[in-house]
Amino acid sequence: MLDAAKAVESIVDEVPIESSVAAFDADGRPTRTLPLSHLIRISAYWLGISAVWSGILQIVNARLEFTNLVPKGSEGLGAFQIAAMGTFIAILVQPTVGTISDYTITRWGRRKPYIFLGSLLDVVFLWGVATSNSLLAVAVFVSLLQFSSNFAQGPFQGYVPDLVPAEQVGIASGLIGLFAALGNVVGYVAAAIAIWLSATDANAFLYGTMAIGAVEFITMLSVVIRVDEGRRAKSRHGRSWLSIALEAWNGEVLHERSFLWLVASRFCILTGAAIYPIMSTFYLAQTFGLSEAQTGQTQLVLLAIVGLCVIVVVVPSSRLSDRVGRKPVIYGSCAIGAVGLGMGALAPNLAVALLGAGLFAVAAGSFLAVDWALMSDIVPKASTGRYMGISNVATASAGTVALAVGGAVVMDTANRLLGLGAGPRAALMFGLLCYVLGALCLVPVVEKRREADQVQSAAT
């Protein structure tokens, strides 16, 4: 990775690309209002990223459930084994590469080379996942996919603090939530169709996997070609790239108390939010006894409900957070999400399960709309790649913890003790607990924007 950084440095342009965002306030946030089209372009790549991870998750789980990659009753353990190594890779790569990008100077700007290369490798590794026929091979390519995806995501996440003025953070966060939600729907639809067709077409999983790879690559081009760069890169002052990479992990972050509590809250909430999509295939097949084709068909219905609910609430939630604050909206999201998971865990039939899924989707949409705004408000603006990368440690690890605890421990154990089908219900109850813990961790977070603190200090 460091050799790659040196190679990038060798083609630098001494004068960084000029930005259309030239004015910054005392805290380093841009002050020039962006047109809506620019905000949409910044957000579009989230559609591709979300489509890849939501889609590949469902496709891999379906292969575990229906293609005998693992013995029956150990699907949760198999899913955890596939995800485990990739999680550690994501935790290391995203903050490190995000920090390096804060200092990178190229003709493309400081973020785009990483976004382009990471997305290109994503397509290659998705092919590897799709064509692998053993648990070990699938796990290796999923781990490589985590490397390439986070190589791109770390730098990309700096764009909102880099480019968006304070008064547009709410709408920018709402758009990110909207596109992330749409990406989830696209990924789930591609996976559900693949599951549906896999009973009669051996290549269905391959087609579904490469379809989501194409979506990501197209949305990446919209960023690399059309998004202006923000602030100039930070000066290295003669420091080596190794020193820059290690900066991501120095103790400075420990002084950012609100940031640390927010990361903890995100981790708990995202773990709870990951339970439903992770368990959906097992939930439908084991708890309600649906066949492979019926599972794919029912997932399409489920996705229609979830997608509609998410899309409807994202933008109103972001606007509401501008009026009442970010934290109250997140508290409401936790409460609704917990109710939705509880209904799913206790559902006597599919109709009640689908109603619970709708409430869960409302919670997920409102959280997606506000989470980015709150994080963007409190991170130091000069090191956005680093801090946004660290914040995404919660995202990277949440899914694996959901698999490890919700799947390998809770689901598999409940299935063994109480009978096949009880496990997914127990896993949903674990998700409910995660929402409660997420709300509690949010309490110490100071919501006031950092730039507001700067103004107050200057006045005194």
Tokens of 36: 């809506």
Which contacts of 451-456 are long-range, i.e. CB under 8 A and separated by 24 or more positions?
451/25, 451/26, 451/27, 451/29, 451/166, 453/27, 454/25, 454/26, 454/27, 455/26
Q: What is the CA radius of gyration of the chain?
A: 21
Query: Cα 50 from chain centroid?
Result: 6
Residue 241 lies in a domain: no
C-alpha distances in Å from residue 28, one per residue of 275, 370, 383: 37, 21, 10
Domain holding 353: CATH number?
1.20.1250.20
CB 224 within 8 A of CB 112: yes
pLDDT in tens, 359-408: 998 998 888 778 877 877 776 655 555 677 677 776 667 777 887 888 87
Q: What type of residue sits at position 225?
A: I
Tokens of 367: 């959280």
Sign of the C-alpha dihedral computed for residues 120, 41, 234 and 391 taken in this order: negative
Q: What pLDDT does 27 receive?
A: 54
Q: What type of residue sits at position 144?
A: L
Tokens of 109: 């700007």
Give 234's pLDDT tier (boundaries 50, 70, 90).
low
Checking if the pLDDT of 28 tops 70, the result is no
State the residue for tokens 């100039």.
Answer: 232
Q: How far apart are CA 250 and CA 252, in angstroms?
A: 6
Residue 357 lies in a domain: yes
CB 310 within 8 A of CB 364: yes
Q: How far apart are CA 411 and CA 199, in angstroms?
A: 25
Residue 441 lies in a domain: yes
Q: How far apart are CA 392 and CA 100, in angstroms?
A: 16
Checking if the pLDDT of 25 tops 90, the result is no
Q: What pLDDT does 160 receive?
A: 72
CB 63 within 8 A of CB 205: yes
- The secondary structure of 246-283 as a DSSP string is HHTTSGGGGG-HHHHHHHHHHHHHHHHHHHHHHHHHHI
The model's pTM is 0.68
Lowest mean pLDDT among 65-79, 144-158, 218-232, 357-371: 65-79
CB 269 within 8 A of CB 334: yes
Q: How far apart are CA 198 and CA 139, in angstroms?
A: 21
Closest CA to 273 of 373, 178, 164, 364: 364
Q: What pLDDT does 106 receive?
A: 77
Residue 244 lies in a domain: no
State the residue for tokens 């609910």.
Answer: 309
Residue 377 lies in a domain: yes
Tokens of 150: 């986070």
342 forms beta bridges with none
Tokens of 190: 């591609």
Closest CA to 188 of 77, 281, 268: 281
pLDDT in tens, 410-439: 888 999 899 888 999 999 999 999 999 999
CA count, 13 A, side-chain hemisphere, 293: 4
Those residues whose C-beta lies under 8 Å from the C-beta of residue 229, and which sit 6 or more positions away, are 16, 17, 19, 109, 110, 111, 112, 162
| Higher pLDDT pick, 11 / 341 | 341
Residue 450 lies in a domain: yes
Residues spanned by the domain of 168 = 33-232+255-455
DSSP 201: -
pLDDT in tens, 114-158: 999 999 999 999 999 999 888 888 889 999 998 999 899 888 877
pLDDT in tens, 173-196: 778 777 887 888 888 888 888 888
Task: Tally the domains of the chain.
Answer: 1
Cα angle for residues 325, 326, 331 (degrees, 5° grid): 110
Residue 246 lies in a domain: no
Q: What pLDDT does 457 receive?
A: 41
Lowest mean pLDDT among 5-14, 211-220, 397-406: 5-14
Residue 337 lies in a domain: yes
Q: How far apart are CA 220 and CA 57, in angstroms?
A: 21
Closest CA to 276 of 119, 168, 430, 85: 430
Angle between helices 350-378 and 292-324 (to 10 degrees): 40
Tokens of 124: 């290659």
Tokens of 15: 């004068």
Query: Cα 343 from chain centroid?
Result: 25
State the residue for tokens 């939630």.
Answer: 317
Checking if the pLDDT of 5 tops 50, the result is no
**Cα dihedral 178, 183, 189, 192 in deg (nearest 10):** -120
C-alpha distances in Å from residue 167, one per residue of 29, 180, 236, 250, 373: 11, 21, 31, 32, 11
Lowest mean pLDDT among 39-43, 190-194, 244-248, 275-279: 244-248
Checking if the pLDDT of 18 tops 60, the result is no
Tokens of 213: 């790879």
Length of the chain: 460
Q: What pLDDT does 427 receive?
A: 92
